[in-house]
């Protein structure tokens, strides 16, 4: 009886897949509605076609770019600098966050430095980065690293502060040292916070990467491509198509990180909502267990 109750409608992997497909369908409908509105605005003459091309034209140009070697080269340069800077930020921020979160005095001593450096915009550091790093790719990677460092660091600190102190004291009472407590309790508990910081940092890093290419220039990159589309009279359709690729790239990376978080940290999956079928199935399962 218990097994039948626990696998009732609205619970289990099947219901989770159904909810994911439902969210994906709603997202597709929302995207289609936005495309339709932009298409109508362009076709009805509310905006000039040269300023705002039809959405279908922009999407067609974006599809053509998928087989354009020149554009793919620009895109690859941006992706390489973006992911390189993001990976470097993770390698620096996570250990630093674990160290500061484990040593309260060191955390208090470095608080002023963190709060002073965190609000500095990465774009404002472009002249300094150009002086320090000669190659445009290294300039871009360093700026991405600086911008992505702070969300990961702060989320790591917040995650460590949210760790259950009873769990840590329990391990200490059994003779486990600080490193064992950090590895067995603190890091798994703070993991979802760290992943959230990486997701935020990925979006910020992509913005900074393209902004650095727009401001600092260079030979290749998505920002350089966007500048080239505005030379010689300008091609708004190509510029918007490049922006579509940037958005799709950020959404793809965010989707990958969300999927990784669901697999690595299954405890962060949402519970069934009260009143829904999953909630009723879970409640009936609990009642059945009590009856037996």
- Residue 290 tokens, joined: 């009590």
17 within a domain of the structure (yes/no): no
- Look-up: residue for tokens 């399962």? 285
145 assigned to some structural domain: yes
**172 lies in a domain?**
yes
**Is residue 274 assigned to a domain?**
no
**Which residue, among 252, 224, 249, has the nearest Cα to 238 in the 3D structure?**
224
Rg of the chain, C-alpha, whole Å: 24
**80: Cα within 13 Å, side-chain hemisphere:** 12
Reported as a single tens digit per residue, the pLDDT across 173-228 is 877 777 777 778 888 888 889 999 999 999 999 999 998 888 876 778 888 888 88
CA distance 100 to 169: 19
Q: Is residue 241 part of a domain?
A: yes
Q: Percent of the chain beyond pLDDT 70?
A: 82
Q: What is the CATH number of the domain that holds 127?
A: 1.10.3720.10
Least confident stretch, 12-21, 44-53, 82-91: 12-21
Examine residue 37 and state whether it is found in any structural domain, yes or no. Answer: no
Domain range enclosing 91: 53-266
34 within a domain of the structure (yes/no): no
CA–CA dist 88, 54 (Å, integer):
40
Residue 2 falls inside a structural domain: no
Q: How far apart are the first and last CA of the chain?
A: 9
Domain count, the chain: 1
């Amino acid at each position: 009886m218990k097994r039948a109750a626990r696998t009732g409608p609205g619970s289990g992997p099947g219901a989770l897949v159904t909810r994911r497909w439902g969210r994906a369908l709603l997202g597709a409908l929302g995207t289609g509605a936005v495309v339709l509105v932009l298409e109508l605005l362009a076709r009805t003459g509310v905006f000039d076609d040269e300023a705002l091309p039809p959405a279908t034209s922009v999407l067609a140009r974006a599809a053509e770019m998928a087989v354009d070697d020149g554009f793919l080269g620009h895109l690859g340069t941006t992706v390489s600098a973006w992911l390189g800077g993001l990976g470097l930020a993770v390698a620096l921020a996570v250990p630093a966050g674990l160290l500061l979160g484990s040593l309260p005095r060191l955390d208090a001593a470095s608080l002023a430095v963190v709060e002073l450096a965190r609000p500095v915009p990465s774009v404002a550091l472009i002249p300094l980065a150009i002086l320090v790093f000669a190659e445009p790719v290294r300039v871009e990677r360093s700026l991405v690293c600086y911008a992505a460092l702070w969300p990961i660091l702060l989320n790591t600190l917040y995650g460590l502060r949210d760790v259950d102190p009873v769990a840590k004291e329990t391990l200490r009472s059994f003779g486990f040292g600080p490193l064992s407590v950090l590895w067995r309790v603190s890091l798994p508990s703070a993991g979802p916070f760290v992943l959230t910081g990486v997701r935020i940092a990925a979006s910020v890093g992509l913005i900074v990467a393209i902004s650095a290419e727009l401001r600092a220039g260079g030979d290749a990159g998505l920002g350089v491509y966007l500048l080239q589309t505005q030379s010689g009279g300008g091609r708004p359709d190509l510029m918007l198509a490049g922006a579509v690729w940037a958005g799709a790239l950020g959404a793809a990376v965010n989707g990958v990180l969300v999927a990784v978080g669901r697999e690595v940290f299954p405890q962060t999956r949402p519970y069934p909502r009260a009143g829904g079928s999953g909630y009723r199935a879970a409640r009936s399962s609990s009642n059945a267990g009590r009856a037996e």
